[in-house]
Amino acid sequence: MGLTDKQLAGNQRRSLRAMRVKLLAMADQWDGRDQFNLGELTRLADDFEEVAANMIDDDIEVGDE
């Protein structure tokens, strides 16, 4: 049996947040060396968190129907 939408969203949220941690670690390595790379990696990490947070909002809406 396949995953439910809620299980899939949960798995992907965890993956996105793990990738966000990796991106922030990469950004930290650029601190004091290259502000552009630091900023871009941080922006990407923020985008990952936004996608993960929207998956949570989708779960709430489905449960409230």
Rounded mean pLDDT, 51-58: 81
Q: Give per-residue pLDDT as tens, 13-53.
A: 999 999 999 999 999 999 999 999 999 999 999 999 999 99
Domain residue extents for the chain: 12-64
Amino acid at 40: E
pTM greater than 0.85 (yes/no):
no
